[in-house]
Amino acid sequence: MQHYELLLDKFLRHAAKWHPDTEVVTGGDEGSARIGYADLLDRCNRLSGALLALGLRFGDRLGTLAWNSQAHMECWYAALGVGLVCHTLNPRIGAPHLSEMILKANDRVLAVSPGQDELVAALVTNCPCVEHVVVLDEPGVAFSAPPVPDRVRVWRQSDLLQSHGAKTEWGGFAETANAGLCFTSGTTGAPKGVLYTHRSNYLHTANIVQPDILGLSAQDSVLAVVPMFHANAWGLPFAAPAVGAKFVLPGRRTDGARLAELINGEGVTVAAGIPTVWLGLVDHLEKHGGELPSLKRVLLGGSSVPEALMERIEKRLGAVVQPSWGMTELSPLGTVAAVNSPHRSAKNSGRPCAGVDLRLVNETGSALPQQRGVEGRLQVKGASVLERYFDAPETALDAEGWFNTGDLAVIDAHGNLTITGRTKDLIKSGGEWINPGEIEAIIGTVESVGLAAVIARADAKWTERPVLIVEARAGQNIDQPALMGLLESQVPRWWLPDAIIEVEKMPLAATGKIDRMKLRQQFGQQPT
Helix (H) or strand (E) holding 469: strand 463-472
Nearest Cα residue to 41 out of 16, 18, 17, 24: 16
> Within 10 A of 287 (CB to CB), how many other CB atoms are there?
10
Q: Which of 5, 100, 131, 184 is catalytic?
A: 184
Burial (0-12, 13-18, 19+ Cβ within 10 Å), 510: exposed
**CA gap 456, 31 in Å, rounded:** 40
The answer to whether the CB of 239 falls within 8 A of the CB of 216 is: yes
Q: Is position 381 annotated as part of the catalytic site?
A: no
Q: How far is CA 394 from CA 141, 307, 359, 365, 391, in A?
A: 44, 41, 22, 18, 9
The residues, ordered by sequence, that sit 6+ positions from 169 with a Cβ below 8 Å of its Cβ are none
d(C-alpha 65, C-alpha 510), whole Å: 46
Identified catalytic residue from 23, 74, 329, 440: 329
The set of residues, in sequence order, having a beta carbon less than 8 Å from that of 186 and lying 6+ positions away, is 93, 97, 432, 433, 434, 435, 438, 495
Residue ranges of E strands in 137-276: 153-156, 178-183, 193-197, 221-224, 246-249, 270-273
> Is residue 257 packed enough to be buried (19+ CB in 10 Å), middle (13-18) or exposed (0-12)?
middle
The H or E element containing residue 98 is helix 95-105
Dihedral sign computed on CA atoms, order 335, 8, 103, 158: negative
The answer to whether 433 is a known catalytic residue is yes
Q: Encode 75-85: b = buried (16+ Cβ within 10 Å), e = exposed.
A: bbbbbbbbbbb
| Given 67, 76, 433, 462, the catalytic residue | 433
Task: Judge whether 325 counts as a catalytic residue.
Answer: no
CA dihedral 323, 404, 356, 8 (to 10 degrees): 90
Active-site residue (options: 10, 104, 246, 428):
428
C-alpha torsion sign, points 400, 404, 410, 412: negative
**How many residues in the chain?**
528
CA atoms of 36 and 210, how far apart (whole Å): 25
- The reply to whether 511 belongs to the active site is no
Distance CA 493, CA 92 (A): 8
Q: At residue 387, what are phi and psi to the nearest 5 degrees?
A: -100, -45
Per DSSP, the three-state class of 316 is helix
Burial annotation 104-141 (CB, 10 A radius, 16+ → b, else e)? bbebbbbbbbbbbeebbbbbbeebebbbbbbbbbbbeb
User: Which H or E element spans position 17?
Assistant: helix 9-18
Residue 210 contacts residue 116 (beta carbons within 8 Å): no
Which are the catalytic amino acids? 184, 329, 428, 433
